[in-house]
Structure 1
């Protein structure tokens, strides 16, 4: 490797390694009052699960160092899109399901040949060994009354429970979950969910009229309607958004 050349600056001063002096320009500076204009709209780290009412990306940070429980009262399509996108963030997905045939194509197609989505019978999910370098999302697709099993959330292992409707176990699951998603339900169900989640009358009434692919996500007092829009690859694999299966 050659050594840097040297040159002589005006006044006879040697400038080693920097070549000729270039043109002088003003420095790129901003005043303190102008700093606010440089802000960037950076959201949370996680999977993009759709867009909000203003068309901004809605991001779900599902890989966490603390236990994280999610309950989704909705359709299989939305749960499968969430699983795919969580896998895209580097998480391993363990699906506990009594309808493995509904998940087989997804498990085979995900990960580009890598086994990132595994399927397990109800009550048969083995320890996953979750860690910061290998986070896990357990998707429980166990029908209206998912049994109490040994699957639990923990550090770097989140649990997403899918309920097709508001079942008798739903209130307990909703109250212990950090995040609850609700898709289109009947007017009676929407009224009950509104009471459980302390929704406004407008939010509660909207639940019975939501379009396919729209979910009301609730975390504490935060509420956000999100439209999940499938990519071309997701549509080819899962079909169009639908509430019913």
Structure 2
């Protein structure tokens, strides 16, 4: 995600070079049976390692002022959680080698989209919830039959054994006053806590979180969140007017409004974006 009301940490692997290719080319023309010696006519100067001169074509070139058109809208590694105000992908790196806590004050729909997209990155998702019926269809549909999303009663999440090869995202959907979890954030194990509204435990959760997401709340709640997160007045006042699917994601130093839109598959399973459950 870009920053300005900007992305919290919201890669393209380097391509190996091709020494093998150049090595093969050199070997093809280096011996008596090489392409350069074999293909060169009598009197022609052999082109060792390159074979015969091929057809000439125009070089592929782009004027400098058009280079930006070739840019790819790719940010950091992670899952796409929506688009920013300029319709650029907003990417959240949820699988990390350090403990990572996220608090979302928002709707179940957004939390479930995050669960599906985290599973799509290869993470195992453990949902701690007091309303399993709201998650059952999603857990059954995710992973094409593979058990990538598991449901657990509140306080009954077993150790997950997270590792770099098998990262875990724990989603805590435990109501307004979630109890302290038995399973906490750890390397390669992120914890996302969903709060439907600002509650008495929210200030503690917001202060300890690496990332906070806020959807539409009342003006009074918006002002309180603004104080806790040190938001500019125009940003916290906007929190009471946000459309369904819009979230302000923020850290102590970065903020960005993001619109999350469901894919066809997500919409078919979860319905359209909504703030209220």
Residue 80 of structure 2 aligns to a residue whose secondary structure is strand
The reply on whether 1:107 has 2:148 as its aligned counterpart is no
TM-score when normalising by structure 2 = 0.81
Q: How does 1:141-160 map to 2 (within 5 A)?
A: 141-160=173-192
Aligned to 2:8: none
Change (3 A) 1:25 1:142: same
2:230–2:252 CA contact under 8 A, matched in 1? no
Aligned to 2:193: 161
Change (3 A) 1:40 1:51: closer
TM-score when normalising by structure 1 = 0.91
Aligned to 2:105: 73
The reply on whether 1:244 has 2:276 as its aligned counterpart is yes
1:96–1:121 CA contact under 8 A, matched in 2? yes
Residue 127 of structure 2 aligns to a residue whose secondary structure is strand
Aligned to 1:89: 121
Residue 54 of structure 2 aligns to a residue whose secondary structure is coil
2:73–2:88 CA contact under 8 A, matched in 1? no
Query: Please, what is the CA RMSD of the aligned residues?
Result: 2.4
- Give the Cα–Cα distance (whole angstroms) in 2 for the partners of residues 102 and 197 of structure 1: 30
- Mean alpha-carbon deviation: is it higher for 217-226 or for 76-85? 217-226
Deviations 1:108-143 (A, max 9, x none): 000001000000011111111111111100000000
Kindly state the Cα deviation for residue 149 of structure 1 after the two structures are TM-superposed: 2.2
The reply on whether 1:207 has 2:258 as its aligned counterpart is no
Aligned to 2:169: 137
1:69–1:158 CA contact under 8 A, matched in 2? yes
1:9–1:21 CA contact under 8 A, matched in 2? no
The reply on whether 1:172 has 2:204 as its aligned counterpart is yes
Structure 1, gaps ≥5 residues long: none
Number of residue pairs matched?
A: 242
Change (3 A) 1:4 1:47: same
Kindly state the Cα deviation for residue 21 of structure 1 after the two structures are TM-superposed: 1.3
- Give the Cα–Cα distance (whole angstroms) in 1 for the partners of residues 243 and 54 of structure 2: 61
- Give the Cα–Cα distance (whole angstroms) in 1 for the partners of residues 208 and 251 of structure 2: 11
1:9–1:20 CA contact under 8 A, matched in 2? no
The reply on whether 1:51 has 2:73 as its aligned counterpart is no
Structure 2, gaps ≥5 residues long: 1-32
Residue 172 of structure 1 aligns to a residue whose secondary structure is helix
- Mean alpha-carbon deviation: is it higher for 13-22 or for 136-145? 13-22
The reply on whether 1:196 has 2:214 as its aligned counterpart is no
1:7–1:16 CA contact under 8 A, matched in 2? no
Structure (1/2) with the larger strand percentage: 1
Kindly state the Cα deviation for residue 26 of structure 1 after the two structures are TM-superposed: 7.7
Residue 39 of structure 2 aligns to a residue whose secondary structure is strand
